[in-house]
Amino acid sequence: MTESEWLACADPQPMLDFLHGKASERKLRLFAVACCRRVWNLVTDRYSRKALTIAERYADAEVSAEKLGFAWGDARRAAQVALRQERQTAEGTTMWAVAMLCEADIGRALAAVGLAARCEAYPVVAPGLADAERNQSFLLRDIFGNPFRPLSPVSSVWPTWNDGAVRKMAQVIYDDRAFDRLPLMADALEDAGCTDAAILAHCRGGGEHVRGCWVVDLLLGKG
């Protein structure tokens, strides 16, 4: 894959293939979680909702592999019940996607991405599926940025400027999913002396942002 192909790609699978062996499991799992969160309205089963949250927390090393395994069992049973009840719907498929998220093996967890796209496009028709996959590609670029360009090092001044205002903002944005505050953080970064065009443009460029966003991760030292 070339840089221009990465920037224009509207299908997450070749992008994931390109990232194989280059990306952290944390970011890959957060991407799969973000895809399932796009269809959160379909995650109506309480065990599935809890499992999705646990998968996200597992990515950030906040829960153990054992707890992830319990979540996988709960989500899988919920999906099996839906199947026995012949609920061949977007809701039932979403349950399977969430169960996949709780697989310890990241390759198996990423299978949730394709299922989530089908749920977003339900009833599955080609144009709707293409739109869902395009949305997922945007999320991948939000999380991984442009892998063909090395990340700029964080200035030692930014984290300490104004009593750590930039880092505190980044932490609140991450914890509260307050990505609407990214333009404000760009202003604070400029005040702290940041002139990196890619960082500032990403914060001000609009579009959907999720946990794992490459700028927020950069400021928080997450990989």
Q: What is the 3-state secondary structure (H, E, C) of the chain?
A: CCHHHHHHCCCHHHHHHHHCCCCCHHHHHHHHHHHHHCCHHHCCCHHHHHHHHHHHHHHCCCCCHHHHHHHHHHHHHHHHHHHHCCCCCHHHHHHHHHHHHCCCCHHHHCHHHHHHHHHHCCCCCHHHHHHHHHHHHHHHHHHHCCCCCCCCCCCCCCCCHHHHHHHHHHHHHHHHCCHHHHHHHHHHHHHCCCCCHHHHHHHHCCCCCCCCCHHHHHHHCCC
132 and 181 inside one domain = no
Same-domain pairing of 64 and 135: yes
Residues 131 and 182 in one domain: no
Number of domains forming the structure of the chain: 2
**Do 175 and 138 belong to one domain?**
no
* Residue 165 and residue 61 in one domain: no
User: Does residue 153 fall inside a structural domain?
Assistant: no
Confidence label for 3 from pLDDT (cuts 50, 70 and 90): very high
**Choice between 143 and 150, residue whose per-residue pLDDT is larger:** 143
- What tens digit of pLDDT does each residue of 89-139 get? 788 889 999 999 999 999 999 999 999 999 999 887 788 999 999 999 999
Last residue of a domain, one of 93, 110, 144: 144
What residues make up the domain containing 97? Answer: 3-144
Residue 50 to residues 56, 60, 67, 113, Cα–Cα distance (Å): 10, 16, 11, 18
Residue 20 has pLDDT above 80, yes or no: yes
Is 50's pLDDT higher than 70?
yes
Q: Peptide bond preceding 127: is omega within 30 degrees of 0, i.e. cis?
A: no
pLDDT digits (tens, 9 = 90+) for 4-17: 999 999 999 999 99
Residue after which a domain boundary falls, among 144, 169, 188 = 144
87 pLDDT more than 80: no
Of 86-90, 127-131, 175-179, minimum mean pLDDT range: 86-90
What is the rounded CA–CA span in Å between residue 116 and residue 93? 8
Q: Is the pLDDT of residue 163 over 90?
A: yes
Model confidence pLDDT, tens digit, residues 189-198: 999 999 999 9
How much is the mean pLDDT over the chain? 94
Q: Which residue has the higher pLDDT, 208 or 83?
A: 208
Better-predicted residue by pLDDT, 169 or 82: 169
Q: Work out the percent of the chain whose per-residue pLDDT is above 70.
A: 99
